[in-house]
């Protein structure tokens, strides 16, 4: 099934969150049931973040709350223990500033290998609009992908978000401080890219397999690296088609 535009009419009447969530599950099913050896497994990690703005209008210091601490004293006339209290006043400062608190969207598949326990070896990121929305969100997304690669975890990024414009590959390359030789941009603004960091002789090499993708075209199959010398096919097209069929998106 060719890629559809889930962010503009007429398909925006369907929930893109539902499609991303269902797609993540279909990828997990495909990998676990048909692709992985017995010592690997995948699981979906899905959460839709929220954003809250707080505007505190004043900067002032008031008496604030008080804390009373009891100190044992002599017995009172009723046989109880007389208690003296010391009262502490906590100073309160309120800053006049707008603060934004955001929880990142997470549409991710994590891949684990059995090595006595389950070790994370790969992550597949389905990009959301919030991941591309503003520079801080793009830096956070690049930081997460960079941290995975630094830990030896391979990463696949799949960006089908049409209502935001951003080059997430460029953000990741900038985050990793890599040379211009890694520069690449999809002509459509949409992409699928597989990243693998390999360390040998105290040097780390980054390998990248970037693919431009487009609305109306079939999605590619990418290498999903489970070990430095072992990859399996990550088949985006059949898993996407299964998700659309399940949700009755035609």
Domain span at residue 224? 11-52+104-246
- Is the pLDDT at 11 greater than 50, yes or no? yes
Pick the range with the lowest mean pLDDT from 5-14, 38-47, 184-193. Answer: 5-14
- Is the pLDDT at 80 greater than 70, yes or no? no
Verify that 81 and 127 share a domain, yes or no: no
- Whether residue 75 is contained in a domain is answered as yes
Polymer length of the chain: 250
Verify that 203 and 139 share a domain, yes or no: yes
Task: Determine the pLDDT at residue 34.
Answer: 96
DSSP H helices in 100-160: 129-132, 135-150
* Domains: count for the chain: 2
Report residue 121's pLDDT band, with 50, 70 and 90 as the boundaries.
Answer: very high
- Residue 34 is given by DSSP the state I
Verify that 81 and 139 share a domain, yes or no: no
- Rounded CA-CA distance 170/235 in Å is 24
Verify that 69 and 134 share a domain, yes or no: no
- Whether residue 115 is contained in a domain is answered as yes
Residue 131 and residue 137 in contact, taking contact as beta carbons nearer than 8 Å: yes
Verify that 85 and 204 share a domain, yes or no: no
- Whether residue 37 is contained in a domain is answered as yes
pTM reported for the whole predicted model: 0.78
- Is the pLDDT at 84 greater than 60, yes or no? no
- Is the pLDDT at 51 greater than 50, yes or no? no
Task: Determine the pLDDT at residue 48.
Answer: 63
Task: Determine the pLDDT at residue 49.
Answer: 57
- Is the pLDDT at 157 greater than 80, yes or no? yes
The 3-state DSSP class for residue 15 equals: coil
Question: 35: which 2 tokens?
Answer: 């692709």
Task: Determine the pLDDT at residue 134.
Answer: 92
Nearest Cα to Cα of residue 157 among 107, 232, 227? 107
Report residue 135's pLDDT band, with 50, 70 and 90 as the boundaries.
Answer: very high
- Rounded CA-CA distance 115/101 in Å is 38
Task: Determine the pLDDT at residue 46.
Answer: 87
- Whether residue 5 is contained in a domain is answered as no
Task: Determine the pLDDT at residue 104.
Answer: 63
């Amino acid at each position: 099934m060719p890629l559809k535009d889930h962010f503009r009419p007429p398909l925006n009447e369907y929930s893109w969150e539902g499609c991303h969530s269902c797609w993540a599950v279909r990828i997990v099913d495909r990998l676990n049931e048909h692709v992985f050896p017995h010592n690997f497994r995948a699981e979906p990690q899905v959460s839709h973040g929220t954003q809250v703005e707080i505007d505190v209008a004043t900067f002032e210091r008031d008496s604030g709350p008080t804390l009373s601490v009891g100190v044992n004293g002599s017995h009172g006339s009723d046989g109880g223990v007389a208690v003296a209290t010391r009262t502490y006043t906590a100073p309160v400062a309120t800053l006049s500033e707008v603060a934004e608190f955001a929880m990142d969207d997470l549409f991710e598949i994590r891949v684990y290998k059995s090595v006595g326990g389950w070790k994370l070896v790969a992550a597949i990121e389905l990009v959301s609009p919030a991941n591309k929305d503003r520079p801080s969100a793009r830096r956070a997304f690049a930081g997460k992908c960079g941290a995975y690669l630094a830990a030896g975890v391979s990463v696949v990024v799949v960006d089908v978000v049409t209502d935001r414009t951003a080059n997430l590959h460029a953000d990741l390359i900038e985050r990793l401080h890599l040379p211009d030789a890694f520069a690449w941009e999809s002509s459509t603004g949409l992409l699928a890219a597989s990243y693998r960091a390999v360390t040998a002789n105290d040097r780390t090499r980054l390998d990248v397999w970037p693919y431009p993708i487009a609305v109306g075209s079939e999605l590619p199959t990418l290498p999903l690296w489970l070990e430095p010398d072992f990859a399996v096919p990550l088949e985006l097209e059949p898993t996407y088609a299964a998700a659309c069929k399940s949700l009755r998106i035609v």
